[in-house]
Amino acid sequence: MISALDRKLLRDLRRIWAQSVAIALVMACGVAMLIISFGTLQNLTQTRDAYYERNRFAELFASATRVPYDLLAEIAAIDGVAQAEARIVDYVVLDMPEMVEPGMGRIVSLPEDGEPVLNVPLLRLGQLPDPTSVDEVAVSEPFANAHGLRPGDSFRAIVNGQARDLLVSGIALSPEYIYTIGPATLLPDNRRFGIFWMSHHSAASGFDLDGAFNDLTLRLTPGADPAPVIAAVDELLDPYGGTGTSDRDSQMSHAFLKQELEQLQALAWIMPPIFFVVSAFLVNMVLGRLIALERQQIGLMKAVGYSTFEIAVHYLKLAALVGVMGVVLGWGAGMWVADGMTELYGEFFQFPYLVSSPSTAAFAISGVLAMATVLAGAFRAVQGTVRLRPAVAMSPPAPPKFTQGLVDRVGRGLRLRQTTMMILRSITRWPGRAAVTLFGVAASVAVLVGSFFFFDAVEVMKDEMFSLSNRQQMTLTLTREQTLQAVDDARHLPGVLTVEGGYAVPVRLSHGSRQSLQSLQARSNGTELVRLLNRDRQPVAMPSRGLVLPELLALELDAQEGDLIAVEFFTGHRETHIVPVASVVQQTLGEAAYMRDEALHALLRQAPRVNQLNLLIDEAQLPALYAQIKETPGISGVALWREVRQRFDEQLNENLFTSVLIYATLGVLITVGVVYNAARIQLSERAYELASLRVLGFSRGEVSYVLVGEIMFLTVIGLPVGWLAGYGFAALSAEGLSSELVNIPLVVSTSTYGWATVLVFVSALVSVLIVRRRLDRVDLASALKQKD
Amino acid sequence: MAQSIFRTEGVTKVYGSGPAAVHALRGVDLALNEGELVVMLGASGSGKSTLLNILGALDTPTAGRVFFRDRELTKLSDAALTAFRRDHVGFVFQFYNLVPSLTARENVALVTEIAKNPMRPEEALERAGLPHRMDHFPAELSGGEQQRVAIARAIAKRPDVLLCDEPTGALDSKTGVTVLEALVAINDELGTATALITHNVGIQKIAHRVVILADGRVSEVIENDNRIAPAEVTW
């Protein structure tokens, strides 16, 4: 049997349903964001871990020039190594029938017996190449899909300068290539880059590595310390051109996935708190008003024998119901979006399956947080009134006390109209309530600025990547380093207008106990195409000696300008040199270290060399150039910057609309929740006063001005506060989302501020106008009869 | 014959419908003259407030016609009725209906700012008998003082007619007298036609005419030949 008090509760809730829904929606946003972040995080982590485990993803990775096969047994015998697998890994240029431009492939050899023990490819179709076969390959699924390849199909590749027809034996995925990008590109491009598993003997003959390998992957025994293993492997590989052993964190696919997961986690803690705090304020505001209206009823309830506690619980229950509504809505929306997000990630990353299980912790945490904030807001509202003695509660509250102060002097000085004075006095009389409205508007703007800022950051990064740093149209990767003659030769390729050579070598940088495996790139001062930029986006003048480090790398090495860094070269004479840090530059993408070309070559005691060519080309002659590249044995890779950019834009635009819509909805919901409630409360408190104005002959518009004016005045003040807070959020997000791979620039454009402002202003105006319509329905005669 | 400022023809007002319908007015024919002070008497539920609200364009009749001078109010739009209230009518209510966030002077200024030919707020307050305490907020004033602010606000626009609904209803007799004195003085000095609702029979003696309502109809109209001053009214 439902008690009378509970029946009152349900009726109260029905009476304030619109306000309750507005609060529940704001709350639901916070809850949903937690569920989405943690849910997606859990789904992806579980999927990744299961995939790694089932397909035995290696833990250490090393490459070298040419290692005799016999060394493998020695490596496998190192203390702490559970499994070791030797492979041949190299790049090939692809000549796909439907592509004018050359594609690129990474050949990965399988063990001699054809049964990999580490990084086991997961067959999707067909089979792995027969160990005795020649030119049979299993193709990575995304590449196969992009080209419609099926087992039995064949395509042409330039393997080590020789054109060969490769036959597709199967389609596969691998935990090693959940995220794949080709050399000298920045994004996955499944059409132009693929992974090809080949039999050991076919790869060995193709790359002249009979009886040898150039790539090694290891799995450690449980609990083994990787450091001594890495040292031992490095020592063994050193005579064979080893370029240093690294753990999973330096493995591209793993590092990228890890970055994505860390970003998800960072985001989970930035936005949701705003929504929780705003809903607590809203509950406080709405319940506070309800209790004020029911003050006499509370007195009556106390007079007939209800305890303070029972009455407090009655109102807290009402808040709890609103909270439950928000939590349920948030859970539902969160689960729905989290599944969608996981699927999106599943498409972006190459997972063969998705392990999706709801995160109990996320549900528990979001539920508890939501209920706690709602009840905290409610408690403050309930506290004051329910403690009143019955006789006091039953008599009407003392009228609000107004005093004259600065605002009044200013108002008189400015000869403000009395209706304007009413607005100003209401704000100064109830500063707390005005602050909630202002805070809500500011929070809204902040959420929008903090979200839309991503688009600004991406624009800046794009500009830096494609217009300022990399101005070449094409980058050719050379099979091996060559003299400057290669630059001259390239000038004679069809359609080539400008050529600049590039040179990069693998190194290990050490500073104190910190180490990092990096690529050290040569830069000269006169280059036009590939440029290194400073904070002001001006080309950096390369110092005559010393290293130029990007900020992120300097941080990783704990190095500053003037510090000495040990540079261990994995090429040439394989010497270690002590080199000072000449300068630290801010760079958005990548962690490579830089050095003036002359200085680098002098250090390596060699004549100037190149292993990369950057080109400006006459696009009309592209087909001829492509044809030539496919026939040139010295070229192992081609990157087309226009295509990279196009791909980048495509990926960005694919989800642009959805993300803008989601962010905008989140931001606008706060405004709607706060403004709608504030206006309803204003109207409820002032119905009598506003009806009096109508009686005195004020038009609807003039009376509406008092209601709309106050809210919009607060909105306008809240906007700049929101700009500041939004910049703060952007800074937090930039910090949280920056990783070793990418340094998110903190830039907020005027148009971001502009859009946030327009969205919030319009939604505030619409919300208050919806409430304003109730003014038209006020019955003047009866409004004047009842006091309050 | 005196010129009439308000004229009603068969004014009827029904609230609700069906068996729950309440007939507040059942065909009222009445004329109020320029410059006269009329007291409307009647028991609770006799329809006097409804009639006053209809005269002041706060409410519309279910049937019948209302004329203000030659204009038929019952034909006017909502905007025109707002303008009518703004330009011609001053209201005084039992509960004063002051804006709590405005001082006495500002409450009057609220009206003078939108009126066509207003007096200064100070003058209105003086006429209403409240030359002091102009910068006090309503909460700082007594009931009588608040009602005098309401009267000042009503007369500040120099209205053609003053409609007062139980202006002394919430006041003690002594304070009530001062409020009535203010109303009579304004009627005398400015010639503002005044209709005053009360259930206090004693007050009728200050009027030129007394209209008695019963059960939604005008039951009697009495010409008062021996008006007395408010101070002489016995409560």
Q: What is the chain B residue with the closest CA to A697? A: B86
Q: Which of A256, A275, A305 is the last residue of a domain?
A: A256
Picking from A402, A692, A787, the nearest residue to B137 by CB comes out as A402
> What pLDDT, on the 0 to 100 scale, is given for residue A757?
96
Contact B99 A692 (CB under 8 A): yes
Buried b (16+ CB within 10 A) or exposed e, A462-474: bebbbeebbbbbb
> What pLDDT, on the 0 to 100 scale, is given for residue A657?
77
Question: Is A388's pLDDT higher than 80?
Answer: no
Q: Give the distance from residue A698's alpha carbon to the nearest chain B alpha carbon, in angstroms.
A: 7
CB-based contact, A694 to chain B, within 8 Å:
yes
Cβ neighbours of A407 in B, within 8 Å: none
> What pLDDT, on the 0 to 100 scale, is given for residue A180?
86
Torsion of CA B170, B172, B173, B179, to 10 degrees: -60
Of A705, A683, A676, A694, the C-alpha closest to A770 is A676
Cβ neighbours of B111 in A, within 8 Å: 696-697
Contact B91 A695 (CB under 8 A): yes
Q: Which of B55, B82, B149 to mutate to test the interface with A (most CBs of A within 10 A)?
A: B82
CB-count burial class (<10 Å; 0-12, 13-18, 19+) for A406:
exposed
In a domain, A224, yes or no: yes
Contact B58 A780 (CB under 8 A): yes
Q: Which two tokens stand for residue B211?
A: 């209209």
Contact A402 B100 (CB under 8 A): yes
Domain at B35-63+86-232, CATH homologous superfamily: P-loop containing nucleotide triphosphate hydrolases (3.40.50.300)
Q: Which two tokens stand for residue B34?
A: 């320029």
Q: What is the pLDDT of residues B23-46, one digit of tens each?
A: 999 999 999 999 999 999 998 889
Cβ neighbours of A710 in B, within 8 Å: none
Q: Give the distance from residue A412's alpha carbon to the nearest chain B alpha carbon, in angstroms.
A: 10
* Alpha helices (runs of H) in A114-212, residue ranges in sequence order: 141-147, 200-206
Q: Which domain holds residue A198?
A: 61-256
Q: What is the chain B residue with the closest CA to A427? A: B101
Q: Give the distance from residue B116's alpha carbon to the nearest chain A alpha carbon, in angstroms.
A: 12
Q: Which two tokens stand for residue A766?
A: 């619409």
Cβ neighbours of B53 in A, within 8 Å: 780-781
Cβ neighbours of A402 in B, within 8 Å: 100-101, 137, 139
Amino acid letter at A651? Q
Cβ neighbours of B138 in A, within 8 Å: 399
Summary mean pLDDT of chain A: 88
Q: What is the pLDDT of residues A222-242, one digit of tens each?
A: 999 999 999 999 999 999 989
Picking from B83, B93, B102, the nearest residue to A421 by CB comes out as B102
Distances (CA, A) of A140 to A151, A174, A217, B125: 12, 8, 19, 91
> What pLDDT, on the 0 to 100 scale, is given for residue A771?
92
What's phi and psi for A724, nearest 5 deg? -65, -50
Q: What is the pLDDT of residues B2-19, one digit of tens each?
A: 789 999 999 999 988 888
> What pLDDT, on the 0 to 100 scale, is given for residue A785?
64
Q: What is the chain B residue with the closest CA to A786? A: B95
Q: What is the pLDDT of residues A421-435, one digit of tens each?
A: 999 988 888 888 899
Of A160, A170, A185, A167, the C-alpha closest to A93 is A160
Cβ neighbours of B103 in A, within 8 Å: 404
Contact B139 A700 (CB under 8 A): no
Q: Give the distance from residue A682's alpha carbon to the nearest chain B alpha carbon, in angstroms.
A: 14
Cβ neighbours of A694 in B, within 8 Å: 82
Contact B139 A689 (CB under 8 A): no
Q: Which two tokens stand for residue A407?
A: 């605002």
Contact A697 B135 (CB under 8 A): no
In a domain, A699, yes or no: no
Q: What is the pLDDT of residues A182-201, one digit of tens each?
A: 776 667 888 889 999 999 99
Long-range CB pairs of B140-146, under 8 A, 24+ apart, other chains included: B141/B104, B142/B175, B143/B96, B143/B170, B143/B171, B143/B175, B144/B171, B144/B175, B144/B176, B144/B178, B144/B179, B145/B104, B146/B96, B146/B98
* Of A769 and A388, more confident: A769
CB-based contact, A409 to chain B, within 8 Å:
no
A residues 386-405 closer than 8 Å to B (CB): 398-404
Contact B153 A399 (CB under 8 A): no
Q: Give the distance from residue A291's alpha carbon to the nearest chain B alpha carbon, in angstroms.
A: 21
Cβ neighbours of A403 in B, within 8 Å: 137
**Global pTM?**
0.80
Q: What is the chain A residue with the closest CA to B113? A: A417
The DSSP symbol for A528 reads S
Amino acid letter at A483? T
Q: Give the distance from residue B207's alpha carbon to the nearest chain A alpha carbon, in angstroms.
A: 25
Q: Give the distance from residue A417's alpha carbon to the nearest chain B alpha carbon, in angstroms.
A: 7
CB-based contact, A458 to chain B, within 8 Å:
no
Q: What is the chain A residue with the closest CA to B155? A: A696
> What pLDDT, on the 0 to 100 scale, is given for residue A63?
92
> What pLDDT, on the 0 to 100 scale, is given for residue A788?
39
d(C-alpha A682, C-alpha B120), whole Å: 31
Those residues of chain B whose CB sits closer than 8 Å to some CB in chain A are: 49-50, 53, 56, 58-59, 78-79, 82-87, 89, 91, 93, 95, 97-103, 106-107, 109-111, 113-115, 135, 137-139, 153, 157
Cβ neighbours of A419 in B, within 8 Å: 110
Q: What is the pLDDT of residues A655-713, one digit of tens each?
A: 777 778 888 888 899 999 999 999 998 888 888 888 888 888 888 899 999 999 999 99
H, E, C per residue of chain B: CCCEEEEEEEEEEEECCHHHCEEEEEEEEEEEECCCEEEEEECCCCCHHHHHHHHCCCCCCCEEEEEECCEEHHHCCHHHHHHHHHHHEEEECCCCCCCCCCCHHHHHHHHHCCCCCCCCHHHHHHHCCCCCCCCCCHHHCCHHHHHHHHHHHHHCCCCCEEEEECCCCCCCHHHHHHHHHHHHHHHHHHCCEEEEEECCHHHHHHCCEEEEEECCEEEEEEECCCCCCHHHCCC
Contact B153 A700 (CB under 8 A): no
CB-based contact, A240 to chain B, within 8 Å:
no
Q: Are B37 and B208 in contact (CB under 8 A)?
A: yes
Q: What angle do CA A275, A674, A705 make, to 5 degrees?
A: 160
Q: Which of A206, A223, A256 is the last residue of a domain?
A: A256
Q: How many domains does chain A have?
A: 2
Question: Is A786's pLDDT higher than 70?
Answer: no
Question: Is A209's pLDDT higher than 80?
Answer: yes
Q: Which of B58, B101, B110 to mutate to test the interface with A (most CBs of A within 10 A)?
A: B101
Q: Which of A692, A699, A780 to mutate to test the interface with B (most CBs of B within 10 A)?
A: A692
pLDDT band at A787; cut points 50, 70, 90? very low
d(C-alpha A228, C-alpha A246), whole Å: 12
Q: Are B206 and B33 in contact (CB under 8 A)?
A: no
Picking from B58, B91, B113, the nearest residue to A418 by CB comes out as B113
Q: Are A713 and A434 in contact (CB under 8 A)?
A: no
Of B151, B57, B60, the C-alpha closest to B111 is B151
Q: Which of A409, A695, A777 to mutate to test the interface with B (most CBs of B within 10 A)?
A: A695
The label of the residue with tokens 């989405």 reads A36
Q: What is the pLDDT of residues A433-478, one digit of tens each?
A: 899 999 999 999 999 999 899 889 988 888 888 888 888 999 888 8
CB-count burial class (<10 Å; 0-12, 13-18, 19+) for B73:
buried
Q: Where are the domains of chain B?
A: 35-63+86-232
Residues paired with B39 in a beta bridge: B196, B210
d(C-alpha B4, C-alpha A116), whole Å: 110
Q: What is the pLDDT of residues A68-119, one digit of tens each?
A: 999 999 999 999 999 999 999 998 888 888 887 888 899 999 998 888 999 9
Q: Give the distance from residue B205's alpha carbon to the nearest chain A alpha carbon, in angstroms.
A: 27
CB-based contact, A422 to chain B, within 8 Å:
yes
Q: What is the pLDDT of residues B138-157, one digit of tens each?
A: 889 998 899 889 999 999 98
Q: What is the pLDDT of residues A355-378, one digit of tens each?
A: 877 778 889 999 999 999 999 999
